[in-house]
Amino acid sequence: MTAVISTPDLTDEHPGARAIELQFVNFGKVAHFGGPVVTIKCHEDNSLVKQAVGEPGEGRVIVVDGGGSLRRALLGDMLAEQAAQNGWAGLVINGAIRDVDEIGATNLGVQALGTTPLKTEKLGMGQRDVTIAFGGVTIAPGEYIYADNNGVIVSAEPLL
């Protein structure tokens, strides 16, 4: 996405936009990002994240509901690099990531709740393209998400 996204401006212009009520940290090199949503629901297993970042991103954003767990990282440097190479705009993760210095140098938007050095087990668990809910917001596949240092918002329609 080429336009600079300001979530405060977007919510002022579009009062129907829903703010996720969590304090995300912006870890990616791309501080402002947004696009159509692909959802993943998983708990301490990033098998579906690994599968998704290997596909063409086409400017979309992967929203991962990891249940808020900070025990295992749902994204690391290798998956972030693959996501950037495949054209994903970014990831919003209700959970933890690792390799933050490398991710900070990767041309990708990444917002997460925190960090941990521990990787996940790859058990093939989770669901993709399902409606998820966290931080007071329900997010359906194909909706739009916008993120910056002010927060993360969701809309049924594109706002840019």
Which residue ranges form the domains of the chain, and what is each CATH number? 7-155 (3.50.30.40)
**Mean pLDDT along residues 76-87:** 98
Does the predicted TM-score (pTM) go above 0.95? yes
| 77 has binding-site annotation | yes
| 129 has binding-site annotation | no
19 pLDDT more than 90:
yes
State how beta strands 137-139 and 132-134 pair: antiparallel
142 pLDDT more than 70:
yes
Q: What is the mean pLDDT of the chain?
A: 96
| 75 has binding-site annotation | no
Where does the pLDDT of residue 123 fall: very low under 50, low under 70, confident under 90, or very high at 90 and above? very high
| 124 has binding-site annotation | no
Token reading at 93: 């993760």
| 76 has binding-site annotation | yes
Query: How distant is the alpha carbon of residue 84 from its chain centre?
Result: 13
Phi and psi (nearest 5°) for 100? Answer: -65, -35
| 9 has binding-site annotation | no
CB-based contacts of 137: which residues, under 8 Å, 6+ apart?
18, 19, 20, 21, 154
The CB density around residue 131, as the number of other CB atoms within 10 Å, is: 13
CA atoms 48, 133, 77, 105: torsion sign: positive
**Mean pLDDT along residues 68-97:** 98
Phi and psi (nearest 5°) for 77? Answer: -60, -40
93 pLDDT more than 80:
yes
1 pLDDT more than 60:
no
